[in-house]
Amino acid sequence: MADLSVRIGSLTLRNPVMPASGCFAIEYAEALDLNRLGALVVKSVSPDARAGNPTPRVAETASGMLNSIGIPSKGLEAYRRDVLPAYTTDARFDTPVVVSVSADTAESFGEACETLSLPEVAAIEANISCPNLEADGMAFAMQAESTYKAVSAIRRRTSHPLWVKLTPNAGQIALIARAAEDAGADAIVMGNTVLGMAIDVRTRKPKLGNVMGGLSGPAIKPLAVRLVHQCHRAVRIPIIGCGGIETADDAVEFMLAGATAVQVGTASFRDPAVMVRIVDGLAAYCDANDVERIATLTGAVALDAQLSDRWLRFAQQSG
């Protein structure tokens, strides 16, 4: 049987499959064995309480969905008291727990990550796709400079393994990924939802209360695969791919593009047990294709040498 374990910085995961933040809760334990997953990524928490965005917050689209949740949160104290213990103190679970953090400023990011640098937390995922109040609401990860500033502020306050979640809405993704690496990130999560909008043609009103929201699901997978490949060619740290993964083949595609591990989001809303099926599918794929260690798939896409050189020059020029 193939070895499905992967290494992300100092962490070794039993397999490369984990939930995407915001698409998973402890109640999923009723639908699947959480000990079958590589890691458990908990919904993002912000330092201060947030109400979230106005309703409606979700709209179905062709091959995906739009959401504008707004990362509602009760703050760090409530999170540590009411949310985290369900994952870390239950003797049934031995899967590494990753906390996801969202904040409005670089300094508050650092403070929140320091607070959550707990022994029971295996890694911290900094969701720098969120709005930066110091840059008129533009996401930290939209620019290399603000990415470096936010990740540096976090790195100064914690020695915990740090995963940095980037946004697919940015240009020059290679430069942004390198900025995160240079500032001390241990891994990159690529990526998040793509900004979109939908209108009800009968009422002529936006389908989301916040007008625009994040598009996820199979519709964005080719974009996400491309971004993972660009990041893989730009940095030396591991990449966790995310965007439209529904099957084991989808996960393999991301790994061939350069991902070390993958996160599953929208598919879990339709089928809460889908992640375990992906794990089983990865084992079957490895056995059928004589892959002894799944880690060897990372970045193993077969490219023509001349085409690869041209692509690398293009990626460097475009960022």
SS3 state at 60: strand
137 is in an annotated binding site: no
241 is in an annotated binding site: no
Backbone φ and ψ for 17, nearest 5 degrees, come out as -105, 130
193 is in an annotated binding site: yes
Backbone φ and ψ for 167, nearest 5 degrees, come out as -110, 140
Length of the chain: 319
Neighbours of 155 (CB within 10 A): 19
95 is in an annotated binding site: no
243 is in an annotated binding site: yes
SS3 state at 128: coil
Neighbours of 99 (CB within 10 A): 31
Kind plus residue range of the DSSP H or E element containing 19: strand 17-19
231 catalytic per annotation: no
159 is in an annotated binding site: no
308 is in an annotated binding site: no
221 is in an annotated binding site: no
Q: What gap in Å lies between CA 94 and CA 88, rounded to an integer?
A: 8
What is the number of H-type helices and E-type strands within the chain?
A: 10, 16
68 is in an annotated binding site: yes
Environment class of residue 68 by beta-carbon count within 10 Å: exposed (0-12), middle (13-18) or buried (19+)?
A: buried
173 is in an annotated binding site: no
71 is in an annotated binding site: yes
Q: What gap in Å lies between CA 8 and CA 88, rounded to an integer?
A: 20
Q: What gap in Å lies between CA 96 and CA 170, rounded to an integer?
A: 30
- Close Cβ partners of 203 (under 8 Å, ≥ 6 residues apart): none
165 is in an annotated binding site: yes
278 is in an annotated binding site: no
- Close Cβ partners of 18 (under 8 Å, ≥ 6 residues apart): 37, 38, 39, 40, 41, 98, 240, 261, 262, 263, 264, 275
Choice among 130, 231, 242, 286 that is catalytic: 130
Q: What gap in Å lies between CA 138 and CA 170, rounded to an integer?
A: 10
44 is in an annotated binding site: yes
127 is in an annotated binding site: yes
Rg (CA), the chain: 19
Binding residues are 21, 43-44, 67-71, 127, 165, 192-193, 217, 243-244, 265-266
- Catalytically active residues are 130
Binding residues for substrate are 43, 67-71, 127, 192-193
Binding residues for FMN are 21, 43-44, 127, 165, 217, 243-244, 265-266
